[in-house]
Amino acid sequence: MGIDRMSCELVPGCGGFMNAVEGVITRPHIPTNNTHSIDCIWFIDVPDHLRISLSLELFEWSSNNSCADYISVRGEETYSGQYPRVCGENGWEHTFNTTSSRVWVHYHSDWPHEGAFLMDYSTTGDSDDYVLTCGGPLNESGVIATPGFPTGYPSKLQCTWTISNVSVIAFHFEKFDIEPESSCQFDYLEILDGPEGGANSTHIGRFCGSDPPPNELKLNTGEVWLLFRSDATVQGKGFRAVYEVQ
């Protein structure tokens, strides 16, 4: 959250902590009757092997702003200073390619708060062989989603989820958009009835494109294992599913 420096009121959407491998930052809504200075600070913190790049576009930005509104970016490699402050006219674009896995984004605005912006950030790894991992054991009911949904999942991603003590699991997919391929070799969601490598485990299926798994699965082993994997090239928006178990 950000702070109105004069009145010390919290401004919703102004600043925060972000740890996804990609994301979007936009200017928060500032009430027209707020005549005080606003400072918003976002801290992006991703795994150490990743490097953060940011793409910034200004719009609805007055040419007479005189940098009363500005954005600054600081990575660990510029800890003693920062990249130059950014301000300018409508449509102005800039890219920050940092060598850091931790970046601070600072937005300052004076009344009448004319400068708006859109900032996308993404990450790259040091090694082409690295696979970003996620997932873990799940509760009896809840939500499963790919990182970055609904904007899109990262490349070279591997997520593994397990649910135990279950005989039937029901899925409701809000969206299912994975790189299509006839045999689902590239990006896919794979499901096993039983643990990976288990002697009694059976393969339920591998799913990609816009065709999700069946709405209901009956299990014989009491455990379901789910794997989502993406390759290095084409990515889809991913998926999000609410699930219930019996």
The label of the residue with tokens 């990262």 reads 154
- The predicted model gives 224-245 an average pLDDT of 89
Distance CA 94, CA 55 (A): 6
pLDDT recorded at residue 3: 44
Counts for the chain of helices (H) and strands (E), in that order? 0, 19
Distance CA 219, CA 74 (A): 51
Model pLDDT for residues 91-112, shown as the tens digit of each residue: 567 888 888 888 999 988 877 7
Q: Which range (76-90, 163-177, 182-196, 230-244) has the least confidence?
A: 76-90
**How many C-beta neighbours within 10 Å does residue 181 have?**
14
Model pLDDT for residues 8-52, shown as the tens digit of each residue: 346 777 888 888 888 888 877 777 777 778 888 999 988 777 888
pLDDT recorded at residue 224: 92
Model pLDDT for residues 177-223, shown as the tens digit of each residue: 999 999 998 999 999 999 888 888 899 999 999 999 999 999 899 89
Domain limits, CATH 2.60.120.290, in the chain: 2-125, 132-245
The label of the residue with tokens 């209901």 reads 216
Write the class of the CATH domain 132-245: mainly beta
pTM for this prediction: 0.50
Please report, for residues 31, 33, 36, 71, the alpha-carbon distance to residue 7 in angstroms, rounded to integers and kept in the order given: 13, 12, 7, 22
The rounded Cα 15 to chain-centroid distance in angstroms is 16
CATH (residue range 2-125): 2.60.120.290
Q: Is the pLDDT of residue 170 over 80?
A: yes
Contact predicate 138/162, CB 8 Å: yes
Q: Is the pLDDT of residue 90 over 70?
A: no
Distance CA 22, CA 9 (A): 29
